């Protein structure tokens, strides 16, 4: 998979439509793998706590307990505590750190975040599958599958695709010559 996809937004060049579609399929597989891994971890945590019947109700109760048990800090740009989270903030960036204690186990925060992550991954998988479907229909819309494509990815999802008029077969390849001369101008 292309490392550049970790950067958002990024514009990538694909030699043909098949390369673009295969990259999207790799992304779908990666997201599905991570979704299964996080789902397994979530299941283990819920079984450990015995919350399989009503995980969200227990989560709310645990968060309320941790919120009440945590002392409030003064309001400032560093160390704001809110709902069991300590926030470190600047104008450009915010980092939240869970404030775990004896009454608020780490698994409560982990379960909460795993629920959010799995929902986000499901949404991304759906978007990637729709993008793949649209791209496979391009040849029927008059686009050549052997032409180059520029694709703008935001957060790992193709948002814009720009077909070019050139194909890989048309591009002139640079050939290295092992013998060459440089003429000196005087």
- pLDDT for 35 beyond 90: yes
User: Within a domain: residue 93?
Assistant: yes
pLDDT band of residue 5 (cuts 50, 70, 90) is confident
Beta bridge partners of 14: 149
- Whether 112 maps to a domain, the answer reads yes
Report if residue 13 sits inside a domain.
yes
Average pLDDT over residues 26-55: 82
Cis peptide leading into residue 31 (ω within 30°): no
Q: Residues 25, 31, 35, 37: is their CA dihedral positive or negative? A: positive
Q: Does the global pTM surpass 0.85? A: no
Domain range for 64: 3-167
Is residue 179 in some structural domain? Answer: no
Indicate the burial class of 164 (C-beta count within 10 angstroms; 0-12, 13-18, 19 or more).
Answer: exposed
Q: How many domains does the chain have?
A: 1
Alpha carbon distance 85, 168 (integer Å): 52
């Amino acid at each position: 998979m292309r490392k550049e996809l970790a950067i958002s937004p990024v514009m990538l060049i694909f030699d043909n439509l098949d390369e673009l579609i295969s990259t999207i399929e790799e992304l779908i597989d990666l997201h599905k793998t991570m979704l299964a891994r996080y789902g397994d971890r979530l299941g283990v945590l819920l079984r450990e706590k015995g919350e399989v019947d009503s995980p969200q109700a227990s989560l709310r109760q645990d968060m309320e307990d941790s919120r009440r048990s945590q002392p409030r800090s003064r309001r400032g740009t560093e160390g704001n505590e809110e709902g069991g989270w300590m926030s470190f903030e600047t104008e450009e960036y915010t980092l939240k750190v869970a404030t775990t204690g004896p009454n608020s186990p780490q698994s409560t925060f982990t379960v909460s975040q795993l629920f959010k992550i799995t929902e986000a991954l499901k949404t991304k998988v759906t978007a990637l599958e729709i993008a793949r479907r649209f791209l496979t229909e391009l040849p029927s819309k008059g686009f050549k599958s052997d032409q180059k494509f520029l694709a703008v990815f935001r957060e790992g999802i193709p948002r814009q695709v720009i077909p070019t008029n050139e194909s890989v077969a048309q591009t002139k390849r640079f050939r290295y010559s092992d013998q060459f001369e440089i003429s000196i101008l005087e």
